[in-house]
Amino acid sequence: MIGKVLGNRYEIVEKIGSGGMSIVYKARCGLLNRFVAVKVLRPEFTSDENFVKKFRQESQAAASLSHQNIVSIYDVGIDDDIHYIVMEYIEGRTLKQIIREKGRLNPAQAADIAQQICKALVHAHKNHIVHRDIKPHNILVTKDGTAKVTDFGIARAVTSSTVTNTGSVIGSVHYFSPEQARGGYIDEKSDLYSLGIVLYEMVTGRVPFEGESPISIALKHIQETVTPPAEIIDGVPAGLEQIIMKAIQKDPGSRYETAGQMLDDLNAFIKNNDILFETQGFEDKESPTIIMPAVNKGGTEDRTNTNKKAREKNSRQNNKKTIIAIALIIMALIVVGYGGSILVKKLLFVDVVEVPDIIGKTQEEAEAELKKVGLKMEIRDRKSNPEFPAGTIISQHPLGGTENKVTNPVLVILSLGPEKTEVPYLINLSAAEAQAKLQQRGLVDGEITTRPSETVTVGVVMDQSPQPGLMVDEGTPVDLVISSGPEIQQITVPAVVGLDLQTAKTRIQNAGMILGDTYPQESDLVPEGYIIRQSIPPNTMVEKGASIGLWVSTGKKVVPQPVEGTKVLTINLPAGSKDVKVTVKKYQDGVEEIEYQMRHDADEGPLKVAVTGKGQVRVVVLFDDVEQWSETLNFTKEE
């Protein structure tokens, strides 16, 4: 894949990560000249047409999200059966890598990261997008501590695949909500459960449930009680533990109603680490969270013991209430006698039927299908969805093909159809600005083409389709035409080899080129001042105004010839020296000769010594037989 260009735009530079369903590469966008992350689906998933269709639709929907704590999706495409998503490139590490490195995070840092993730979920849920796979592996943390949630879109597309692909699910099952583990209805509260597990892991350094297989871990999410963080690690603030334990309640109705509520509690804890929240029992859905001032500052152990005693007391009370309720039912049945036996049968023996698949059907069609098997339908919510026409079923619980008691209604979400949005005015914006504006309106990038323009700056939008002001469905692609600047004129490189420099220069200028550097070169064949070769071959097509270099002949190579001659050496004695023996030796053709030898005083001034020779002569100057310096004299002439 390295070096491959996807969509004629994204050049793969290096592999930066991989997962069960995809491989992530760093790539350069040729159009906008920036680095991006490209997530490529593994081949085993691309062969499933339904999976690929849902993957593309969900990724396009997720591309509408624009938030500082969400990794932006720029593009979704296919190139030679390679399905890919183009995302914002983030320099940082995954939260999982940070936890592995540090063991666990301090409560303040954990709360800060959880707060940022929660902000991302608030934005996503507001746009009717549920992540479904919140885990530390999908959280990127930059060097400045900004947390960014990734893999919106792919999570929903792989929901059906992960439950059968144990290689993929093993990383996610630790963070599954109980309803995910059961294959049940999944909504925004499932994301909050997963965030609670992530926060639990940040604080304790471990996940609450481990097992030998994904199935065993999933069962623990459904059946087993979570050990509170304060019983594992000392120093966990009671308020933070309360947030975690509320988020990971097995009953969705006992969790936070919205990501906004959880964010409010995280904000309150960050402002005051000693805060306590009065939950009034996790099962009380109607009770709002009330912030209470901390009354015990005697340490974590006191708070842990108090919480533990409270849980044990609640457990005993609940068990007692259950026993009393069962006893009262038995007594009532004994009193009513035969009628009681009929009641027992009605209570304990309820018909179980197979649930029909009603996803995609209209409300009337769905109700008719369910009525045939004795089931009723309950509309849980109505949401906009570009994939389903208005009035059709988006999702159901239980799923089609599963068994359900006839007394339990089938919960559904009805589609309101795709939301409408106005196409923004994008002309004269940069490509990046236009793409950001499209994301804000819930629209996606369409085909991006370039066109020359003498008036519009390079990289600026000069046309768009659909035109601005039109009302279209969210998720509609908008095509952009980007200016490539003035049209580049191509010219033919002239042949100038063999011409004199001035003629060559004139011909180059007449062709629309610029004479660049010239390089002197000896030649026995080309006369001095004439062109030996040119840097660009003749008849090559280049842009008008291109530069060309020339090699200009300096004529034949000059060979120096040795001649007899005389050269004068100037010798300076050290200041103040007296009676110094000055000797000049010369070495010629391997023979040493004393050219000069006399005694001198420094105050006589510089000495002038004539040296005769032929060719190259090496001379050595000595003071009192100690060498001072040497040099080579050339007695030659050029021919």
Residues in contact with 24: Cβ distance below 8 Å, sequence separation at least 6, in sequence order:
15, 16, 17, 18, 37, 38, 39, 40
Contact (Cβ atoms closer than 8 angstroms) between residue 41 and residue 34: no
Nearest one of 174, 177, 172 to 155, comparing CA atoms: 172
CA nearest 554: which of 531, 582, 571? Answer: 531
Q: Report the SS3 class of residue 133.
A: coil
Q: Is 226 helix (H, G, I), strand (E, B) or coil?
A: coil
To the query of whether residue 357 is one of the catalytic residues in this protein, the response is: no
Catalytic residue among 75, 133, 151, 445: 133
**Calpha distance 393→149 (Å, rounded):** 29
**Closest to 310 in 3D by CA, of 247, 249, 242:** 242
Structure tokens given for 580:
């110094």
CA 275/CA 131 separation, integer angstroms: 30
Residues near 584 by beta carbon (within 8 Å), at least 6 away in sequence: 569, 571, 594, 595, 596, 597, 609, 611, 619, 620, 621, 622
Distance CA 263, CA 118 (A): 6
According to DSSP, the β-strands at 377-383 and 410-415 are parallel
Residues 6 or more apart whose CB falls under 8 angstroms from that of 303 comprise 230, 238, 296
In which residue are the tokens 């050990």 written? 227
Q: Which helix (H) or strand (E) holds 328?
A: helix 300-336
CA distance 604 to 462: 87
Measured at the alpha carbon of residue 428, what is the angle toward residues 422 and 430, in degrees to the nearest 5?
90
Contact 78, 59 (CB under 8 A): no
**Contact status, residue 418 vs residue 442, Cβ threshold 8 Å:** no
Residues identified as active-site: 133
